[in-house]
Amino acid sequence: MILKRWLVGDPLKTAQARHERLSKTIALAIFSSNAISSVAYATEEILLVLILAGAAAVTWSIPVSLAILFLVLVLTISYRQIIYEYPEGGGAYVVARSNLGDRPALVAAAALMIDYILTVAVSVAAGIAALTSAIPSLFIHREALGLVAILFMIVMNLRGVRESGKFFAIPTYFAIGALGILVVVGTVRSLSNSGAPPLTTSPVEAETLTLFLVLRAFAAGCSAVTGMEVISNGVKAFRPPESKNAATTMIWMSTILASLFMGISWMAFHYGILAKVDETVVSQLARLTFGTGPIYYAIQIGTMALLVLAANSAFAGFPHLASILARDGFMPHQMATFGDRLVFSNGIIILGFFACLLLVVFEGDTHALIPLYAIGVFLSFTLSQAGMVKQWLVKKGTHWQTKLIVNGVGAVTTGIATVIIASTKFMQGAWIVFLLITVLLLMFQGIRSHYKAVSEQIALDRRGERPPLPRRNIVIIPISGLNRAVIRGLDYARSRPGEIRAVFVDVDPAESAKVKIQWAQWGGGVNLIALSSPYRSVLGSLLDYVEEVLEKDPDAWITVVIPEILPARWWQNILHNQRALMLKAALLFKDRVILIDVPYHLTR
């Protein structure tokens, strides 16, 4: 408990929740870091595909980047409309459920949850890649460094939304400023230089430049728009007026994203930068622009910080989405419960666990994770835009035709992008995402069915008739001998109404005779039943006896009072048999059986 308080902080009162709301400045650092950070690797992913067709194909990076820029514009306008129409948050899931039904909504939710997990893994892996580009000796430790970064993010987010936002705001804005300086200075220098320097290497042409290859590059670069939906998922986290502040933050985020992305793409094209295994494109551009002095290292540190902190947007989005699903009965109800610091602690921990697992499985390799990325988020983009199209057709309202056109264009463009991404990345590992979406859908439906069955079985009859009560209570005390713990349990049992039976399993005749003599002295007149057990199965004999009583008296409660000795130190438990624990576990799921544990605490 002391360690938890040191790491997470003291609990916050429920009344303090309104003070945990975010200003636009802090919210930009929390919700936008994912989208903005993608500029560090989106251009690189485009180049990695185009270079397969030789150096000449790299010229297509600018048209591909402009197509992605168009997507940014469409999504910005579309999600601003969603923010105003659904101020309670929830994004694609809430929009799809309101307009398209449960199944499309759950597909959107599953896709988003997978994308959030991938966001953490990809962002941290890319951040560590930026670090190892500046300090190559750390390359072999990238996996361990990534795990440490994720654990740090978990702890900080468990401390609360506002506190984590304040902590991460400074490095986020430092990173944006560093990348902004790189783009401004680099772009000005490139525009003042009429020709691009020749390529230092001449890559071997591995494929022919085809439309399919260009589409593959577009699919890879679409990672630049991942994270744009996070603000719409967390509108309630903003200070009032929530929708207005969220929409304004959306504009800020998109402007920064578009400027940095196009600047880096232009510079990479102008200077003939090629993607390398051991150095990122941003690192090459920073070295080319500023040399390897303090500014270069500041840009690398800022890029690393921004990429690692991009995971923070997922830590803001995933728990909130999970809480909405839990509220609707598609996730465990615990996911909708606030922790000590007024955050959805369970969602934060689960997200961190699966992100760590993914990082270990793919050995911290950004390029191995990227093919899994973007599919889920574009699928949710398409479903949310389609849902809004249906809403305008049904609801209409002020300027509904204009809004319909905006969301219609959004649905078509993101739908096309989804098809392109799925078809070009399917064999690279994208099939795993579709498989996981199917698994999550089955999980959602199974959880919903369980909660529905529970509700039906525990609901009181509408006619007001109480279920029939058992007519009597039989109290059973299992004992293995006579001691203070057993006498304590016996005294408690005698305070309860009903017939009391002490049950002893006879595995040793000599010991049994001793127990019977002691019981005559200390048993207080309670009947002692000795069960024969030729195979020395104490637990089995006790369970058989309980079953026998249940069959003989179907109208009775059976209360099993279990005397249990509790050691003074936790490690002393391994020195005692766990018969009481096993008995409780075996009886817990039996109907009409009530368990009462009577502890006897040792002092040393």
DSSP H stretches of helix in 135-229: 142-158, 161-192, 211-221
Could you tell me the sign of the dihedral formed by the alpha carbons of 135, 136, 137, 142, in that order?
positive
List Cβ neighbours of 546 (8 Å cut-off, separation of 6 or more).
Answer: 476, 558, 560, 587, 590, 593
> Which residues make Cβ contacts (< 8 Å) with residue 182, sequence separation at least 6?
263, 264, 282, 285, 286, 289, 290, 299
The pLDDT assigned to 110 comes to 93
Question: Computed over its alpha carbons, how large is the radius of gyration of the chain?
Answer: 32
Residue 549 reports pLDDT greater than 50: yes
Read off the amino acid at residue 246.
A
Helix (H, G, I), strand (E, B) or coil at 598: strand
Per residue in 67-116, pLDDT tens?
999 989 988 988 888 888 888 776 788 889 999 999 999 999 998 898 88
Average pLDDT over residues 158-164: 69
Q: Do the beta carbons of residue 549 and residue 590 sit within 8 Å?
A: no
**The pLDDT of residue 371 is above 80:** no
pLDDT band at 258 (very low <50, low <70, confident <90, very high): very high
Determine phi and psi for 470, rounding to 5 degrees.
-60, 145
Residue 540, φ and ψ in degrees, nearest 5: -60, -40
Q: What is the per-residue pLDDT across 420-471, written as a single tens digit (0 to 9) for each?
A: 878 877 777 778 888 899 999 999 999 999 998 888 877 766 665 666 666 7
